[in-house]
Amino acid sequence: MIKLGVNTVLFAGYDLKTAIEHIKFTGYTGVELSSIESMVVHLSDKANDQELKDIKSMVEEAELDLYCVEAATDILVEEKRERTKRVFERASKLGIPMVTLSSAGKSNDEEQMEASLRAIEVLSQSAYDCGIKFALKIHYGKSIYNTRTTLRLLEEVKHPGLGINFDATHVGRVGDDPIEAMEVLKDHIIHMHIRDTIVEQLKIAPPEFQTAGRGTVPLAQVVQKTVDIGYDGATVLEIIGAKEYTLPQVAAIAGESHGYLNRLFQEAKSKKVKSH
């Protein structure tokens, strides 16, 4: 089964119920909850048991799965690490298998790299203690931003609570070949974000060009490689910057992306079967 989900950050201007209804209608099988303070918080780090129950009910009624929580923050700040731990606890209560966020820090700054590695180690243990995984997102501009720095992380922090969230738009913008990166990191990828963008420019494109098929990311090759390496986790559409967009606009982005990505996955699976 193809596990295609949407990060609710696409619906940053709307409540979670609205997001879930439209994610279901546009054909996806699951949801990634946004807990991103700078964008939208659909899962609060302070959510009480009743609020968690309400979220669970909404998702179950829509017959969707809960794939992940994204809780992007600066993990070098102790207060933000504590918030992240509270998100881990709530994800665990919801039966969500992982939470994703980046390393924070700044690329090519050794002091911040060391601090990031230690923070990741602490959070990996916290996730493990909650019975979930910390899916470290390789992120442009942060300490862990390409294949080389990810391999260093995996060498220095060998923890059962840690895995990698791979997003071709981050790796591709810093000059790494995303297909080669997936091959190198395949044993550690536990989650995937997917979207389009104009990969030749460093800044992520507006939402309409993050819509799958509208940018220059080699999505067909990314999807084929996803299938070829035997990845069986969720692939989640993560589109940022649409907070001021109308509901028909964000629903159209979700729907168009689903059609494009679903076709790519079907073609990739068919090609893999034929090659065997």
Over residues 87-140, the pLDDT tens digits come to 999 999 999 999 999 999 999 999 999 999 999 999 999 999 999 999 999 998
How many domains does the chain divide into? 1
Which range marks the domain in which residue 36 is found?
4-275
Q: Strand pairing of 189-194 and 162-167?
A: parallel
Q: Strand pairing of 40-41 and 98-102?
A: unpaired
If you ran DSSP here, which 8-state letter would residue 32 be given? E
Q: What is the pTM of this model?
A: 0.97
Domain of 201, CATH number, reads 3.20.20.150
pLDDT, tens digit (0-9, with 9 covering 90-100), for 47-92: 999 999 999 999 999 999 999 999 999 999 999 999 999 999 999 9
Average confidence (pLDDT) over 17-41: 98
Beta bridge partners of 189: 164
As a residue count, the chain comes to 276
How far apart, in whole angstroms, are the C-alpha atoms of residue 195 and residue 113?
Answer: 27
